[in-house]
Amino acid sequence: MTDHVGTAPACPFPGCVGTAALGCPAERSSTARSRFVALEISVLCVLLSASAFAEAPSFNSARAIQYVREVVAFGPRPIGSANHKKVENYIHSHLKGDLVQDDAFTATTPEGKFPVRNIIAKFPGTRDGIIVIAGHYDTNYPLRKTGYVGANDGGSSTALLLELANQLRGKKRDGYSVWLLWTDGEEAVKEWTATDSLYGTRHLAEKWQNDGTLRKIKAFLLTDMIGDADLNIDRETNSTPWLEDLVLQAATSLGYQSHFFARTISEEDDHIPFAHLGVPSADLIDFDYGYSNVFWHTPQDTIDKLSPKSMEIVGSVILETVRLLDERK
């Protein structure tokens, strides 16, 4: 038996010399073009999505906790010490190329005169106003001979600000300017009083009030003891209620609300000089470090008590709070 080869019917489109079985060249060309255009659109959408994802702030918790390790490695960092100066240089080394200013002065304390240096990194925005994000880098002076390294109390806030600088650097801010402030002389030199504490921020708040900077500050966000593995940020009664509510809104939008404001406390911290002068201020602090705060101001304040996830939570919530502040009228 021989194979039968049939003849395909002619293409029904006028003027076409192709066959229906093979498909009209004009029809094939039109279909191919449509498929190609659809493919181009799909690829473009993927690229745009990837670009947007790459540019979105993403707090790097591994990098932040490494900064804590490096800061702690200097040892105790009370004002006036060689290690304190090393940390100043360390912070500056991570801010090369940024707009950085120092507020340096000599503080008179119950133990004599000490050099104090606030470090400010400025990231300009398009809106008229400033958001200050602050945290101290010194360690407790009375504990200077105990081996106290302040991993959480001083180390975590120092590192958090360094990582926030990474998120802000090289991006044009479509919002308020953001100033990162490493405060100095937060700790008491002898015993905590209104005059033996907060040396750096008391000086800077007065300075900014005198030169007109203070009235430009839309919010002052303070971070302190935010690395605790068992993270529970307190609602702080000396803070501005609407600003703390905005922080909670930011935390809730990110799914971190369970780590915020289950407790209410009253704290004297670096936000006080600014709050007293009318600046909207919020103190983000977890003042329950270990059972009954057992690790606070002891040599047990070491990096093994900290968690990269806690750093990520606070850093991400701060970035989201900044975004919400930018959107406020």
pLDDT of residue 55: 45
Give the C-alpha separation, 238 to 103, whole Å.
Answer: 25
pLDDT of residue 53: 37
Cβ pair 293, 287 in contact under 8 A: yes
pTM for the predicted model, two decimal places? 0.83
pLDDT of residue 216: 98
Report in angstroms the alpha-carbon separations of 196 from 59, 110, 131, 154, 222: 35, 7, 27, 17, 19
Give the C-alpha separation, 40 to 46, whole Å.
Answer: 10
The DSSP symbol for 214 reads G
Strands 99-109 and 112-123: antiparallel
Give the C-alpha separation, 199 to 192, whole Å.
Answer: 11
HSE toward the beta carbon, residue 151, CA cutoff 13 A? 25
HSE toward the beta carbon, residue 25, CA cutoff 13 A? 5
Give the DSSP per-residue string, 291-324.
GGGTTTTSTT--GGGB-HHHHHHHHHHHHHHHHH
pLDDT by residue for the chain (329 residues), tens only, comes to: 433 334 444 444 444 444 444 444 444 455 545 554 444 544 444 444 444 333 445 899 999 999 999 999 999 999 999 999 999 999 999 999 999 999 999 999 999 999 999 999 999 999 999 999 999 999 999 999 999 999 999 999 999 999 999 999 998 899 999 999 999 999 999 999 999 999 999 999 999 999 999 999 999 999 999 999 999 999 999 999 999 999 999 999 999 999 999 999 999 999 999 999 999 999 999 999 999 999 999 999 999 999 999 999 999 999 999 999 999 97
Cβ neighbours of 170 (radius 10 Å): 9
* Secondary structure percentages of the chain, helix, strand, coil, to 5: 40, 20, 40
